[in-house]
């Protein structure tokens, strides 16, 4: 069978809210194809398909939404982490 997975996570490197990173990864058959990283500020592709998708997704309105996920999802939940 096939294995398809999307993993979203907040990485907290310190108690300082500036050290938070939002990651959104797309994995197919244990190979990460594409990842959004809030520190980089865009999608990055790791496979041929991932590179093509990253180019398209970085031009779409969805990119602005992903940039807001750090503020919407990670920062309000930082207190739960600590």
- The pLDDT tens digits for 25-66 are 999 999 999 999 999 999 999 999 999 999 999 999 989 999
Domain that holds residue 71: 4-80
CATH number of the domain enclosing 45? 3.10.320.10
Does the pLDDT of residue 23 top 90, yes or no? yes
- Select from 1, 58, 70 the least CA-distant residue to 30: 1
pLDDT band at 79 (very low <50, low <70, confident <90, very high): confident
Domain count, the chain: 1
Cα–Cα distances (Å) from 79 to 12, 16, 37, 66, in that order, read 11, 11, 21, 21
pLDDT of residue 12: 85
pLDDT band at 81 (very low <50, low <70, confident <90, very high): low
Contact between residue 48 and residue 28 where contact means Cβ atoms under 8 Å apart? no
Residue with tokens 């990651």: 23
Residue with tokens 């996570």: 9
């Amino acid at each position: 069978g096939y294995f398809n997975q999307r993993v979203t996570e907040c990485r907290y490197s310190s108690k300082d809210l500036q050290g938070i990173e939002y990651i959104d990864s797309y994995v197919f058959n244990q190979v990460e194809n594409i990842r959004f990283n809030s520190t980089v500020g865009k999608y990055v592709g790791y496979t041929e398909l991932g590179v093509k998708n990253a180019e398209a997704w970085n031009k779409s309105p969805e990119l602005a939404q992903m940039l807001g996920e750090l503020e919407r999802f990670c920062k309000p939940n930082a207190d739960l982490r600590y």
